[in-house]
Amino acid sequence: MDQEFVGALDLEELTGTKASTWRYWASIGTGPASFKLGRRRVWKKSRVMAWLAEQESTTVTGGVRQ
């Protein structure tokens, strides 16, 4: 299996967005898809990175879009 799964604390370290925010987003169905793995909520890192790129491309201001 080549998928890397990350938890809310990993995402906080990666993005600077609080772990509680990631958990809240998951509870209301926003943000990248997540699922329960045992008792933990996890995200596929590849999906998170794709979601972040999408957020950047739809909210970029100034400069030239590529």
Per residue in 18-60, pLDDT (tens digit) is: 999 999 999 999 999 999 999 999 999 999 999 999 999 888 7
Nearest 5 degrees, angle CA 61-CA 62-CA 66?
85
Q: Is the pLDDT of residue 2 over 70?
A: no
* Residue 52 lies inside a defined structural domain of this protein: yes
Instruction: For residue 48, give its domain range.
Output: 5-59
- The number of folded domains in the chain is 1
DSSP 56: H
* Residue 65 lies inside a defined structural domain of this protein: no
* Residue 66 lies inside a defined structural domain of this protein: no
* Residue 53 lies inside a defined structural domain of this protein: yes
Q: Which helix (H) or strand (E) holds 42?
A: strand 40-44
pTM over 0.75: yes
